[in-house]
Amino acid sequence: MEKYRFTYEDIHRTARDIARRVREGGFEPDLIVAIGSGGFIPARIIRTFLGKPILAVGIAYYDANDKPTDTPRKVQWIEEAERTLAGKRILLVDEVDDSRVTLEYCVRELLRHEPAEVAVAVLHNKDKEKRGALPQDVVRYIAGRTIPDAWIVYPWDAEDIDEHDRLAAGNPRIE
Amino acid sequence: MEKYRFTYEDIHRTARDIARRVREGGFEPDLIVAIGSGGFIPARIIRTFLGKPILAVGIAYYDANDKPTDTPRKVQWIEEAERTLAGKRILLVDEVDDSRVTLEYCVRELLRHEPAEVAVAVLHNKDKEKRGALPQDVVRYIAGRTIPDAWIVYPWDAEDIDEHDRLAAGNPRIE
């Protein structure tokens, strides 16, 4: 399977582009919700351009006995903040839309608190069949880039960032 | 006032160095607590090297009426997780130790849940008089780099990341 390596600078530019599209689309979020831990870095960069606070949620795919599961489980949620979600415009951020299961789960959980709107933004959407589906309430979905169903290597996962940057120069071309 | 600009690659290498020092110091955290939003990016990189889950906390210096205050206020905490903090070894992560007030506040809040230990790690410690003080229970404090009391520009705050990287090449020398 092909590997796509993105540099931090790639990620920064993609996050800035997402913020621009959020604004140009007329969406003014009240807050950003980052899905941890992959959404932390894109959310933090998007915050620079949108200037809104970030709340974090943690989702895991293992059960209480550390066994892998197919269904997401909350490891962190935003209780104090939940009562403030009602009527708010939320921008939900993650790094990648792969199976869409995590995004669907998080959107459904957020919608229970009757926000004014939940918009979704990801750095990368993998062009593939999705197991999850976004509820119809989600009318804004922004993927920084859409890429083939390949193995993505993010810079924050690099053991050696200089080697990662060198290898990223040889990425397969994204049409 | 002098400005220090750090590139993402600088940050990545500093975070890796912090993780190495955590391990070499014999500390094996059960979880990382990131202070949002500045701690999100360093915590996520440190996670690559330590392999532990991240919980996020949000601290703000404004009151319910959006007026600035001198004292930190929780905007997000880790309720579901709190009952699991007891007996745990926690690595608390932020980007910078400036006045030390936020770190002190977060450490004190975490200690109320009787963890086994709270260690503190920051990318940068500013060499200056501190308004806050870490409780004596904190025996491990790791600053990736100690720098003069200058204005730090982090890459995630850059409007233009390419210009930021160019300007970072002209940083004042850190002894």
Residue B27: per-residue pLDDT: 97
**CB-based contact (8 Å) between B56 and chain A?**
yes
Which of B76, B80, B94, B167 to substitute to test the interface with A, most A CBs within 10 Å?
A: B76
pLDDT digits (tens, 9 = 90+) for A80-123: 655 678 899 999 999 999 999 999 999 999 999 899 999 999 99
pLDDT at A63 over 80: no
| CA-closest candidate to residue B16, choices B145, B118, B103, B102 | B145
Contact list in B for residue A47 (CB cut-off 8 A) is: 37
Q: Which residue of A has its CA nearest to B41?
A: A41
Query: Which parts of A25-126 fold into alpha helices (H)?
Result: 40-50, 79-82, 101-111
Bridging pattern class, strands A89-97 and A31-36: parallel
Phi, psi of B20 (to 5 degrees): -60, -45
Percent pLDDT > 70 in chain A is 95
DSSP of A79-106: HHHHTTTTT-EEEEEEEEESSSHHHHHH
pLDDT at B24 over 80: yes
pLDDT digits (tens, 9 = 90+) for A129-171: 999 999 999 999 999 999 999 999 999 999 999 999 999 998 8
Which residues of A are annotated as catalytic? 98
Count of CA atoms in the C-beta half-sphere (13 A) of A174: 19
Contact list in A for residue B60 (CB cut-off 8 A) is: 53
What is the ipTM for the molecules in this complex? 0.93
d(CA A56, CA A59): 10
In B, residues 36-55, which contact A (CB 8 Å cutoff)?
36-37, 40-41, 43-45, 47-49, 53-55
pLDDT digits (tens, 9 = 90+) for B8-23: 999 999 999 999 999 9
Task: Give the mean model confidence (pLDDT) for residues B88-104.
Answer: 96
Residue A76: per-residue pLDDT: 79
Distance (Å) of CA A78 to CA A31, A109, A164: 12, 11, 34
d(CA B59, CA B43): 16
d(CA A44, CA B36): 9
Which of A40, A73, A78 to substitute to test the interface with B, most B CBs within 10 Å?
A: A40
pLDDT digits (tens, 9 = 90+) for A13-50: 999 999 999 999 999 999 999 998 999 999 999 999 99
Domains (range + CATH), chain B: 6-147 (3.40.50.2020)
Residue A39: per-residue pLDDT: 97
**CB-based contact (8 Å) between B167 and chain A?**
no
Distance of CA A13 to the CA centre of its chain: 15
Task: Give the mean model confidence (pLDDT) for residues B59-86.
Answer: 76
Q: What is the CA radius of gyration of chain B?
A: 16
**B68 falls in which pLDDT band (50, 70, 90)?**
confident
